[in-house]
Structure 1
Amino acid sequence: MEEGVEGAVSVRAGEHAQVSICYNYGCSREAEVRFHRARLLRLGARLGQAANAEEERARLAGEIGMLYRIAATQSPVAADRAGNYLDGGVEGRMDCIDHATSTTRLLKLLEARGWLRFHRVAEPARRTRFIFQHFSAVIEERSVEKAGPNPGGADGVPPANAYVVDSWFGDNGEPAVVLPLAEWLNGGGPNVQ
């Protein structure tokens, strides 16, 4: 699943950025999406207004949605609906693998520009419930002191400073769901199935 996340973001200093967006389930198709400098600078300014990590996560939810709205003008992902069943197999549908991969790439774009002041991008996470699997992009808060019995996510317990940024739960362009990784691993998030 992680394959293809690195190297899928192209940033030209002071110009624009290109990000490869996955779709049609399992990242079987990809489209290069260009984000113009002026839009990116406005996005960076909005993220820069966050006074703390909690505010940055709240702003990230909306900005990821906005980046997907831009992607929908240059690719078929406008057809994507929440979950896996509402888009009826149309061109541009996205499953959780498409979302986890693409959202991680979008987050890496923001990180590369220095716009994530309170977080860093981590590897995507996977949860398994019964026979179902679900993937999501993950960020980790930089400023949280790692204390207690599980300082860094050892022993299979997620670190307390990790959060999912899950765009799969909504229709294309809606704000991503951002919640603690531990809550998400326990089945947290909207019921879209």
Structure 2
Amino acid sequence: MGLLAVLGFGLLLAGCTHVRNGPVSQHYRDFQTREPHFNTVYVCHSYGCRMQTPFRFTDDDIQQLKIVMDKTRKADTPAEERRAIAYAIGWMETRTGEVIGTKADRPGMDFLASGDPTQQDCVDESTNTTSYLLVLERNGFLRHHTVGTPFAKENYLRGVSGWTHWTAVIKENGNGQKWAVDSWIYANGENPAIVEAEKWYIASLDQLPAATH
């Protein structure tokens, strides 16, 4: 193999997208955590799903989520459903955070926080967001989207700012467009950013998209 080919191959490996087309359950197996059981989720925290704490959304919680989504949605369109999803995920993060202690979770990456039960990395966040999305889906709150399998991107040419980053995913039913649902960027309880998967994390970790409102 020539030098240019080797360099080209190295550049290709340096900037990768880890797309997984299998079932959502594969993500839970990969990180050795549990899928939601009815309205009970197993909240990942302490980085890398090191800790997993069960939390059950009550019937009142589910009713409140419906109210949040109905009030947010201005029309029965995919775009408005994504706005409603963002507010619902923020509400669910707040609800679980108050009980588990992750309400103290700081935005982004804190290299000293690994092992801290109040903190969450992108594996925790993408897994939890996927679990919350599955609760919404199973309660019939998603009409225009289906919950997808989380995926990751990385670009080691950017150094630390290009490290592997995971996100939850929804797929638009009408056209198959995949959307990243990224809760890691912001503090606990803030709306996640929901952007087209191909436009997500194309720069560095400090240039991720704004929250969806």
Same fold per superposition (TM over 0.5): yes
1:30-69 Cα deviation digits (max 9, x unpaired):
1111211122123124434631000011111111011010
Q: % of aligned pairs identical?
A: 27
Which residue matches 1:135? 166
Structural mapping, 1:109-128, within 5 Å: 109-128=135-154
Q: Which residue of 1 aligns with 2:45?
A: 23
For these two proteins, the number of residue pairs brought into alignment is 171
> Corresponding residue for 1:43?
65
TM-score under structure 2 normalisation? 0.73
Select the structure of larger CA radius of gyration: 2
- State how far apart, in whole Å, the 2-side matches of 1:104 and 1:166 are: 10
How far does residue 87 in structure 1 lie from its aligned partner after superposition?
A: 7.7
DSSP 3-state at the match of 1:170: coil
Paired letter, 2:130: T
Q: Which runs of 4+ in 1 moved over 3 A?
A: 4-7, 86-90
2:78 equivalent to 1:53: yes
**Quick check: 1:124–1:137 contact (8 Å CA) kept in 2?**
yes
Q: Determine whether 1:8 maps to 2:27.
A: no
CA distance in 2, matches of 1:87, 1:41: 38
1:111-159 C-alpha deviation (Å, 9 max, x unpaired): 1111111100000010011151000000010112x6xxxxxxxxxxxxx
Counterpart CA distance in 1 for 2:112 and 2:70 is: 35
What secondary structure sits across from 2:56 in the alignment? strand
SS of equivalent to 2:117: coil
The 3-state SS of whatever aligns with 2:152 is strand
Deviations 1:147-187 (A, max 9, x none): xxxxxxxxxxxxxx110111100000011111110110423
Structure 1 stretches of 5 or more lacking a match?
Answer: 12-16, 147-160
The answer to whether the 8 A contact 1:139-1:164 is kept is yes
Contact 2:28 2:35 in 1 (8 A): no
1:80 maps to what in 2? 105
Question: Over aligned residue pairs, what C-alpha RMSD do you find?
Answer: 2.3
Tell me if the contact between 2:45 and 2:120 (Cα under 8 Å) persists in the aligned partners.
Answer: yes
Q: Indicate yes or no: 2:201 matched with 1:182.
A: no
